[in-house]
Amino acid sequence: MLYVSPPPLSDHPALAYSRRRSPHALLNSSGGGSLVEPGRREISRVPKGGWSATDGLWGSKLASKFYGCSNSSSKFLDSGVMTHPDRYLMIVTSGGLNQQRTGIIDAVVAARILNATLVVPKLDQTSFWKDASDFAEIFNADWFISFLSKDVRIVKELPKIGGKLWAPHRMRVPRKCTQRCYLNRVLPALVKKHVVRLTKFDYRLANRLDSDLQKLRCRVNYHALRFTDPIQEMGEKIIQRMRERSTYFIALHLRFEPDMLAFSGCYYGGGEKEKRELGVIRKRWKTLHASNPEKERRHGRCPLTPEEVGLMLRALGYRKNVHIYVASGDIYGGAKTLAPLKALFPNLHTKETVTSKDELAPFSKYSSRMAALDFIVCDGSDAFVTNNNGNMAKILAGRRRYLGHKRTIRPNARKLYSLFLSRGNMSWDAFSSKVHMAQKGFMGEPKELRPGRGEFHENPTTCICENTDPKTPTKPNPRSEQGLINGTEGRKAITEPTVANHTNEELVGSSAEEDDASVEKEDDTSAEKEDDTSEEKEEIADPEAEDDALVRPDDPELEEVLSD
């Protein structure tokens, strides 16, 4: 037996009870050891073995029955017919890479709603992330324009109109602006001014739209937005090097940076030093109030510690020899904080450890390009594990659903809390069994979320079809072609609630805010009902009801910091 020094976060509130009972746990150095208390019977052990590749945690057994389907219907007319020649839409994104990605996606849809030409979006270069990259330095602009040419006319720069460059009319639309909202608020200005510039374009389009517009969102997100060749090639090189180390690998978006921990208001056992350091960061945002760390933890609003993530993965069945790629910024506490996770999974890697300084040099000074590398590796991993529900987690969850329901794990923090608290009083098998139960509905399986629930980027139901005829092979996802029409025999789309497609006459005198508020109220009511009956309904879980506490701040700067 090998004594393991107490982990740096061993007095985490969630572990407080078991710590008082077991201050000197022992961990077998073989990885199949046991947690014991001196002078007491063995009560918990981490087994040496695990599951094999055929056991299902590297992928869903039901994945073959579903496929991405984002082609437009026959009613969706060509942009050449729909676009008005004297309407130009400009947008300025906000936040980190993935928040800006959602803005770009919605900008294309907004241009389609307005029958306008979209000018290639301008990226946020002044926020917390301080990245001076423009669109063409991160995304392949030529591919973006050509792939979407039949959906929306896109130009790289605002052209001169009548021999002169028109000054754009600046405005901002409200959050979750519906189709009706855009036609009522933006279209009149666009008709009059010809060029409209929408600022701080983040979450400015409603979650629920009609089917063809939702499918357009998918075509932009999963096909039109490609990273530049240097970024894509470097990301694929990292994936290749991970595969040289192991046939399968996990990508872990740990999100355990000081800003996230400060915002959470949670306590991680670092004593007065931690309270002082995170308190200073927290004071930067006036909208944050004093929190009850234990209450936040109990309600599942605290990111898991690296050790807890490791315990969850071992309980789910991942072996000690699994290789893990850690996608994260500067971990609070550094190597000391990661030590417990490394004890459970010694093969931890980052982009810095699998590449050389020279290879990373073209990207290292740009936060968005570094984030893009992590995005590519997480997307290409066999299992993706996220420790938060920010934009990167949601976009990747939706993308992995669309591209074959690749294994995607998000901790059910609220239910895991009580398990971590009492794990010292149960056998490892009992702990593992309870973790499996807690994670049901949080593993990226098909139909985990009901149609229409969650954000569309996370749950792109309209763009996922089901093969109902076992004799008909599932079509591969069209990664680069738009013109093919998916066959429908033996297949059906997973539908979400219908959104009316209003005419201009029907829109007169309507209230976009009232319409959107009714949608939000419906979501809130559904979440409450589902939470009340969660113990009775096991067939479909609603992960959305367990989260979002960390990703819906009212402070603009908070949104920038937490956006990825």
Nearest partner of 326 among 314, 334, 316, 318, judged by Cα? 334
Residues 248 and 161 in one domain: no
In 157-270, which ranges are continuous DSSP H helix?
179-185, 187-193, 211-219, 229-245, 258-264
| pLDDT reading at 86 higher than 80 | yes
Q: Note the pLDDT of residue 452.
A: 80
Q: Is residue 368 part of a domain?
A: yes
Residue 360, helix vs strand vs coil:
helix
Average pLDDT, the chain: 79
Q: Is residue 398 part of a domain?
A: yes
Which domain, by its residues, includes 107? 79-227
Task: Please tell me the distance from the alpha carbon of residue 440 to that of residue 445, in angstroms, as a whole number.
Answer: 9
Which range is most confident: 31-45, 435-449, 487-501?
435-449
Pick the last residue of a domain from 198, 227, 256. Answer: 227
| pLDDT reading at 181 higher than 70 | yes
Which range is most confident: 105-114, 260-269, 384-393?
105-114
Report, as an integer, the average pLDDT of 103-114.
98
Please check whether residue 9 is in contact with residue 274, taking contact to mean a CB–CB distance below 8 angstroms: no
Tens digits of residue pLDDT in 182-204: 999 999 999 999 999 999 999 99
Residues 238 and 361 in one domain: yes
Of the candidate ranges 138-142, 391-395, 453-457, 526-530, the one whose mean pLDDT is the lowest: 526-530
**Looking up tokens 């052209």, which residue turns up?**
159
Local structure of residue 64 (DSSP, 8 states) = G
Task: Please tell me the distance from the alpha carbon of residue 290 to that of residue 447, in angstroms, as a whole number.
Answer: 38
Residues 283 and 211 in one domain: no
Pick the last residue of a domain from 466, 490, 524. Answer: 466
Q: Note the pLDDT of residue 550.
A: 39
Q: Is residue 71 part of a domain?
A: no
Q: What is the edge-to-edge ordering of all strands in the sheet holding 66-68?
A: 66-68, 464-467, 491-493
Tens digits of residue pLDDT in 236-271: 999 999 999 999 999 999 988 888 888 888 888 888
Give the CATH number of the domain where residue 104 resides: 3.40.50
Residues 179 and 242 in one domain: no
Residues 210 and 258 in one domain: no
Instruction: Name the domain count of the chain.
Output: 2
Residues 127 and 239 in one domain: no
Q: Is residue 444 part of a domain?
A: yes
Nearest partner of 454 among 221, 177, 176, 207, judged by Cα? 207
Q: Is residue 373 part of a domain?
A: yes
Mapping DSSP onto H, E and C, the string for 6-27 reads: CCCCCCCHHHHHHHHHCCCCEE
Residues 302 and 259 in one domain: yes
Residues 130 and 141 in one domain: yes
| Side-chain-side CA neighbours of residue 98 (13 Å) | 26
Computed from CA positions of residues 224, 229, 231, 236, in that sequence, does the dihedral angle turn out positive or negative?
A: positive
Q: Is residue 530 part of a domain?
A: no
Residues 235 and 196 in one domain: no
Tens digits of residue pLDDT in 425-457: 999 999 999 999 999 999 999 999 888 888 999
Residues 203 and 275 in one domain: no
Task: Please tell me the distance from the alpha carbon of residue 325 to that of residue 381, in angstroms, as a whole number.
Answer: 9
Of the candidate ranges 212-221, 497-506, 551-560, the one whose mean pLDDT is the lowest: 497-506
Q: Note the pLDDT of residue 334.
A: 87
Pick the last residue of a domain from 166, 192, 227. Answer: 227
Q: Is residue 192 part of a domain?
A: yes
Q: Is residue 36 part of a domain?
A: no
Q: Note the pLDDT of residue 212.
A: 98
Residues 243 and 183 in one domain: no
Please check whether residue 176 is in contact with residue 512, taking contact to mean a CB–CB distance below 8 angstroms: no
Residues 289 and 159 in one domain: no
User: What is the number of other CB atoms lying within 10 angstroms of the CB of residue 170?
Assistant: 14
